[in-house]
Amino acid sequence: MKPLMFSKKDIQSNSPTSKKLYSIISTTEKKSALDPIYWETKVLHQINNIKQKADFERNFINLVILSKNNKTKKKIFKIYYLRNIPRFSSEVGKVILTN
């Protein structure tokens, strides 16, 4: 089987194609649980397609925890959180600010 190839723009858009890609990606969650790229892809889709706030927060927390050794990404997530504080619960704030 060929790997699934798509760009970040494909997954970020609010289109039927991005929703199909997201559903395909979501079915592999158990196999990709420790892969930061997997969580980044899920979060990218959910940034523009927020319908399930709890899922977005859970995925964002997983991404932050798995990327805690990458200083650049850690800074990016902290900035994103600080710019969008009303979008998140206090649990996300605790995780972001303690890491």
How deeply is 56 buried, as exposed, middle or buried, from its count of CB atoms within 10 A (0-12, 13-18, 19+)? Answer: buried
Q: Is the pLDDT of residue 86 over 80?
A: yes
Mapped onto helix, strand or coil, the DSSP state of residue 99 is coil
What one-letter code names the amino acid at 38?
Y
Question: What local confidence, expressed as pLDDT, does residue 1 receive?
Answer: 43
What one-letter code names the amino acid at 17?
T
pLDDT in tens, 44-84: 777 777 666 678 888 888 888 888 888 998 898 899 899 98
List helix spans (H) across the chain.
8-12, 16-26, 36-48, 53-66, 71-83, 90-98
